[in-house]
Amino acid sequence: MEALQLGTAITVGGPAVALGGITLFFLKTYINDQKRRYASIPLPPEVPGLPVIGNLLQLKEKKPHKTFAKWAETYGPVYSIKTGANTMVVLNSNDVAKEAMVTRYSSISSRKLSNALKILTSDKSIVAMSDYNEYYKTVKRHILTSTLGSNAQKRHHIHRDIMIDSITKQFRTLVEAHPSEAVNFRKVFQSELFGLSLKQAIGKDIGSIYVEELGTVLSRDEIFEILVIDPMEGAIEVDWRDFFPYLKWIPNRSFEKRLQQMYSRREAVMKAIIKAHMKRIASGDEINCYLDYLVSESNTLTEQQMLMLIWEAIIESSDTTAVVTEWAMYELSRNPEKQNRLCQEIQNICGFDKITEDKLCRLPYLSAVFHETLRKHSPVPIVPLRYAHEDAQLGGYHIPAGSEIAINIYGCNMDKKIWDCPEEWNPERFLDGKSDSMDLHKTMAFGGGKRVCAGALQAMVISCMAIGRLVQEFKWKLKDGEKENADTLGLTNTKLHPLLSIIEPRN
């Protein structure tokens, strides 16, 4: 019997060993071929820097997108820099950016977050900062189904109509009370957009709320500060340990204290908001909102994940759309001939009726205004960093595994090889008739490939409706001295100084 078993093992084991050996041989051959192939491909040109710290001193201003674009003029659209111990490959052209986001996606799909973003996102718990994995696919499907997809947008139509009406009424009240004074565009628009984000996320706007963990009642403005303003400022906080990972064991107490305070305050407010609305759900009062939808899916989400996803829906709806709309109104205010052209287009299509969402597809110049503003004033000038988790090739260069990848949207949209006079704001460049007026991806502003922005459709609809109605109902002119106020700040290219315009009701 033992002999029989031994014979059987030899009979079965022999071919198995042979097969394993053949597999290992081909695998080794493939790996060696890959190494030889990449060895023959040049590395990207490197921007000269200093020993140890690399190019960090050249990036001390918190506007790296402009520095990256300037370097592209010397080193080409693809180059590498050293940020301390890290190697970063910077992409500054549409073709290479699309190659990274679509063709080579499988090699560079993972996010590389700063320590500030790791804290503020609870280590990639939100859609925008998650790695491309099953969690990402699940939560993106949730927000598209309940809030941001085309069918969900139709359900939330009423909220957007109310918001636009409220904005125009507030501006009319302001100009009637003080006809010669400039209006603060951001103060009105941002507040109303925050209200819309709350309605979509939790079912209703909030005037104030008692936060047990903070032991106080917070006003609506304070809630906005904690949920939106503070995290946007915190996201660009610099921790030197990001650049020297081997020193991560050394504490950076001032940084940690600031970020932890932001995190804790936001956490306390979000828990209070969710607690209040869980009571509403328990009472049987159902509202078509993101929170209700996530509660129905709670068997697949932790309490912390649900909190972060609701917060993400609030902050992202409140910020980037406001940024692009404010820049559009700034450009229209300083370009009266283009403002008049837009007004005439709206009048030709709508007559004396208010512009409505179903008319947007018939207003190509309005679409051109929106896309040209996205191009020149990209709300997110640099795509959140990714890293190559295996050797890859981009733009004809070898990208070693472990390299960080920075896709400079600003650089892509200022590329003189693609755009004529890119520094000029010229909506007419999008009226070539080569693409659908409702195409969301004429610029790189919404990303591309599998990680394309989930909120792209909503951003376009809200921004175009707001721009259209405001131009239809008012003439806009910059306040004296406002033309030069075009500086930016923050993670999302926010206008440094709020737009101040003199407005006059149209007949």
Binding-site residues for heme sit at: 453
The pair phi, psi for residue 90, each rounded to 5°, is -105, 130
CA atoms lying within 13 Å on the CB side of residue 209? 23
Residue with tokens 């941002």: 190
The 3-state DSSP class for residue 414 equals coil
Sequence ranges of the binding site: 453
Residue with tokens 């998650």: 130
CA dihedral 282, 286, 291, 292 (to 10 degrees): 90
From first CA to last CA, the distance across the chain in angstroms is 104
CA-CA-CA-CA torsion sign (24, 26, 29, 35): negative
Q: Is residue 83 within 8 Å of residue 243, measured between CB atoms?
A: yes
CB atoms within 10 A of CB 62: 12
CB atoms within 10 A of CB 145: 14
Which pair of structure tokens corresponds to residue 108? 């560079």
Q: What share of the chain is helix, strand, coil (3-state, %, to 5)?
A: 60, 10, 30
Of 132, 362, 330, 119, nearest to 239 by C-alpha is 119
DSSP for 290-325, please give it: HHHHHHHTGGGS-HHHHHHHHHHHHHHHHHHHHHHH
